[in-house]
Amino acid sequence: MMTALKEHLVRQGIEALYAKLGTAKTLRFFQMIGVNQGNTLEEIESVTSKLSREQAIKLVKKARGS
């Protein structure tokens, strides 16, 4: 399978998880299945780029349990 096609399918899968589960549950899901390779900062930014500053802060607080 071509790399571009693989990347497209992975992106579609991430977007589907994000749409269905929301950001916090999607990130928890990735943690549960051990998806933690690559550039974590870029991965987080790609998921949170759609959020406002306030939404991102709420997400972080929720993920921390505070």
How many domains are there within the chain? 1
> Looking at residue 66, what is its pLDDT?
58
Residue numbers of the domain that contains 22: 3-64
Identify the sign of the CA torsion 20, 32, 12, 47: positive
d(CA 52, CA 14): 19
> Looking at residue 5, what is its pLDDT?
78
pLDDT in single tens digits along all 66 residues of the chain: 567 777 888 888 888 988 899 888 888 888 888 766 666 667 777 777 788 888 877 877 777 775
